Amino acid sequence: MNWFERLQKTFAYIEEHLLENLNSETIARIAFASEFHFQRMFFAITDMSLWEYIRKRRLSLAAAEVIQSNRKIIDIATRYGYENPESFTRAFKKVHGVSPTQARKQGETLTAFPPLSIQISIRGGEQMEYRLEKKEAFSIRGVSRIVSTKNDENFKVIPEFWNQVVQDGTYQKLMDSSENKISYGLCGGFDEQSGKFTYGICVDDFGQEEYQGFEVPATTWAIFTSIGKLPSAIQELTQRIFKEWIPATEFKQHATAPELEVYLPGDPTKDDYKCEVWIPVEESRK
């Protein structure tokens, strides 16, 4: 069973249990993935978080019930997982543009959000080259920030974070302490509910005690080479990895290891600048 088939099964499971207390770990298990990596894949393919999808589906069904039944708003709010009418009204209005009470008035326009389904579109193929390497555990040190994937915020905030670290001199201090002059962008600690994760700017651990330490476990890495100006080149490569490579392979991502951007010596403003994306992988269960 490939990734798309497993993802379709998660859609069916969510729909069947939509009014129950859904658990992201259980949903991820259906796709044979960890919570961390399932959320990353779900967002890459659907352009929304898992919980945003669940919320929109519930509010879509709630809207139909509001306008087609005479049930009390408070009862509908409880049925769809809201503790009080006020929170339900806020969420309802955010999606539909009107309150539940206003929605019952004839002629109001509401938003229908149908269940997701997988449709494969065959396009001209573009190969993605990668290599697999087993590496022992190692330590890195640096500075970090909590980043959100909501509305692709990470693609804006991470470059801003890099600019800040470069401009305030922190990056130069890190590089001065680095013997191999390689730096890392670390993505880890993903939280499924909030869509947030930790992004670190680091170098290999040479005893820089003033900086935060991160332990990278031993694992097998799928390593991709990015060629082009930063940050656009590596962002485009990362999107392709999640939308094309991972669904097309028999690997699943390692639950305990972070993803790494590996910045090699060179000029990142040049069209021929090379850096790497490391994705921790293990053989996928059938």
Query: Rounded CA gap, 202 and 206, in Å?
Result: 11
Specify the pLDDT at position 4. Answer: 74
What CA–CA distances, in Å, run from 101 to 3, 71, 72, 93? 42, 12, 10, 10
Specify the pLDDT at position 274. Answer: 96
Count helices and strands (H / E) in the chain: 11, 9
Specify the pLDDT at position 5. Answer: 80
Specify the pLDDT at position 122. Answer: 43
**How many CB atoms are located within 10 Å of the residue 38 CB?**
26
Which residues of the chain fall short of a pLDDT of 70?
1-2, 36, 106-109, 118-127, 150-152, 192-193, 248, 250, 252-255, 283-286
Q: Residue holding tokens 């065959």? A: 122
Those residues with Cβ within 8 angstroms of residue 35's Cβ, 6 or more apart along the chain or in another chain: 24, 25, 28, 190, 192
Those residues with Cβ within 8 angstroms of residue 108's Cβ, 6 or more apart along the chain or in another chain: 67, 98, 102
* Cα dihedral 263, 235, 11, 103 in deg (nearest 10): 140
Specify the pLDDT at position 67. Answer: 85
**How many CB atoms are located within 10 Å of the residue 15 CB?**
12
Q: What is the pTM assigned to this prediction? A: 0.66
**Domains by residue range for the chain, with CATH:** 3-103 (1.10.10.60), 131-283 (3.20.80.10)
Specify the pLDDT at position 124. Answer: 44
Query: Rounded CA gap, 2 and 255, in Å?
Result: 19
CA diameter of the chain: 71
Query: Rounded CA gap, 7 and 185, in Å?
Result: 28
**Helix extents (H) in 136-230:** 153-167, 170-176
Supply 280's token pair: 């921790």
Specify the pLDDT at position 219. Answer: 92
Q: Please count the CA atoms within 13 angstroms of the CA of 263 that sit on its side-chain side.
A: 22
**How many CB atoms are located within 10 Å of the residue 164 CB?**
14
Supply 102's token pair: 């206003």
| Host H or E run for residue 138 | strand 138-148
Specify the pLDDT at position 59. Answer: 92
Specify the pLDDT at position 92. Answer: 92
CA torsion sign for 138, 142, 146, 148 is negative
What CA–CA distances, in Å, run from 253 to 47, 217, 247? 19, 13, 11
